[in-house]
């Protein structure tokens, strides 16, 4: 048996299915990013993993022990499993140091003091120890919430889009810092997000969730090159439907721009991106709009272009 396993878990709210026959296995110290759109069941899954929600069917095990849900456990939740979400609850009238120490009230005083010092150091919060949450930035508050969750040394950390109040640069920086920290501590981490880029900053070990079901698992190369659905394909880039062909799609980077060819169109718009210009091209036959990369930044709005591609790049979705 793996260190952490979720076995055939299903959950509905009234008649609405939130999770359907969901299973996963994780080794100790491993990281997993679960990517899914809003409403795909991510929060429900994490709450069930943490023993905070009653599932209709299936079981969850941590290190061989069954995780009991609130129906079977008087005080729901486990110290070994910590769930962190965007609405983290810091005590507004307690300092950073006091917030982190809260979960340790029952512990030996000397140990608690030492643990708080360690966490302040690990998360770079020493200089803020006497500040109140309102005196911190969103990213700093999030770090305090994570330090608080880590204070009781959880074995499994469940991150439910905890960074959604931060901007992209802050989020990426915080994820990189946390990644090193979790590796150092040997914590097993499950991170759920709707953002593939954020997911990949933590780990290349991905699970794609859609309508409460696993649609694909694998690393980014596998998922990008061999997506099993349009949803998975679109996580990486827009996709262009080839006219008059059944469910055949191309990525913008796989379309070649030529001065002669079979599929003709006109450049509607051009956006300057770091490595290429992104062109919107209205196809002559059918009038559909394709998105195509122009790495040589050669084409201007209004230009006529011909599009071609290698057949091996066509995705049947
Ligand atoms: N307490 C609830 N009562 C009724 N329906 C619920 C409840 N919680 C979630 N749902 C429904 O279950 C489905 C899954 O919701 P969930 O919050 O798990 O998805 P999510 O992927 O975390 O979404 P988001 O990214 O928007 O937070 C949705 O259709 C949602 O409306």
Mutation pick for ligand 1 pocket among 42, 53, 214 (CB with most ligand atoms within 8 Å): 42
CA 189 to chain centre: 11
CA 195 to chain centre: 5
Q: Residue 108 Cα, ligand 1 centroid: separation in angstroms?
A: 39
Residues 154-181: what's their mean pLDDT? 88
The answer to whether the CB of 74 falls within 8 A of the CB of 99 is: no
What is the average pLDDT score of the chain?
93
Q: Residue 60 Cα, ligand 1 centroid: separation in angstroms?
A: 20
The total of other beta-carbon atoms located within 10 Å of residue 306's CB is 15
pLDDT of residue 177: 86
pLDDT of residue 5: 97
42 lines ligand 1 (CB under 6 A): yes
39 lines ligand 1 (CB under 6 A): yes
272 lines ligand 1 (CB under 6 A): no
pLDDT at 165 over 80: no
18 lines ligand 1 (CB under 6 A): yes
**Of 58, 51, 52, 62, nearest to 26 (Cα)?**
62
The answer to whether the CB of 300 falls within 8 A of the CB of 212 is: no
Could you read off the pLDDT of 183-235 as tens digits, one per residue? 988 999 999 999 999 999 999 999 999 999 999 999 999 999 999 999 999 99
* Cβ neighbours of residue 297 closer than 8 Å, sequence gap 6 or more: 272, 276, 277
The answer to whether the CB of 156 falls within 8 A of the CB of 2 is: no
Q: Quickly state the pLDDT bin for 243 (edges 50, 70, 90).
A: very high
CA angle 198, 203, 208 (to 5 degrees): 70
pLDDT of residue 187: 94
Pairing assessment for the beta strands 206-210 and 31-36 based on DSSP bridges: parallel
Q: Residue 154 Cα, ligand 1 centroid: separation in angstroms?
A: 25
Give the distance between the most distant pair of CA atoms in the chain: 77
246 lines ligand 1 (CB under 6 A): no
Q: Residue 22 Cα, ligand 1 centroid: separation in angstroms?
A: 15
Residues 56-69: what's their mean pLDDT? 96
- The residue with greater pLDDT, 307 or 171, is 307
Residues 165-178: what's their mean pLDDT? 85
pLDDT of residue 239: 97
């Amino acid at each position: 048996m793996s260190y952490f396993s979720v076995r055939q878990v299903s959950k509905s709210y009234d008649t609405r299915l939130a999770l359907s026959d969901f299973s996963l296995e994780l080794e100790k110290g491993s990281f997993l990013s679960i990517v899914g759109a809003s409403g795909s069941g991510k929060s429900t899954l994490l709450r069930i993993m943490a023993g905070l929600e009653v599932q209709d069917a299936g079981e969850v095990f941590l290190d061989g022990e069954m995780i009991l849900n609130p129906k079977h456990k008087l005080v729901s939740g486990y110290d070994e499993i910590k769930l962190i979400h965007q609405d983290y609850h810091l005590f507004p009238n307690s300092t950073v140091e006091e917030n982190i120490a809260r979960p340790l009230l029952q512990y030996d005083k000397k140990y608690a003091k030492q643990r708080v010092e360690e966490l302040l150091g690990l998360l770079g919060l020493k200089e803020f120890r006497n500040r109140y949450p309102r005196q911190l930035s969103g990213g700093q508050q999030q770090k305090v919430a994570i330090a608080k969750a880590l204070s009781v040394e959880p074995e499994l950390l469940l991150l439910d889009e905890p960074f959604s109040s931060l901007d992209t640069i802050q989020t990426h920086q915080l994820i990189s810092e946390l990644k090193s920290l979790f590796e150092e501590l040997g914590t097993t981490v499950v991170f759920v997000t709707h953002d593939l880029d954020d997911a990949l900053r933590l780990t290349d070990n991905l699970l794609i969730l859609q309508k409460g079901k696993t649609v694909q698992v694998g690393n980014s190369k596998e998922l990008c090159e061999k997506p099993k659905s349009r949803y998975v394909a679109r996580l990486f880039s827009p996709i262009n439907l080839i006219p008059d062909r059944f469910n055949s799609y191309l990525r913008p980077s796989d379309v070649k721009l030529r001065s002669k060819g079979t599929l003709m169109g006109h450049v509607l718009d051009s956006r300057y991106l770091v490595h290429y210009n992104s062109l919107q091209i209205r196809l002559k036959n059918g009038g559909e709009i394709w998105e195509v990369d122009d790495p040589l930044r050669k084409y201007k709005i209004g230009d006529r272009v011909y599009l071609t591609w290698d057949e091996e790049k066509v995705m049947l979705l």
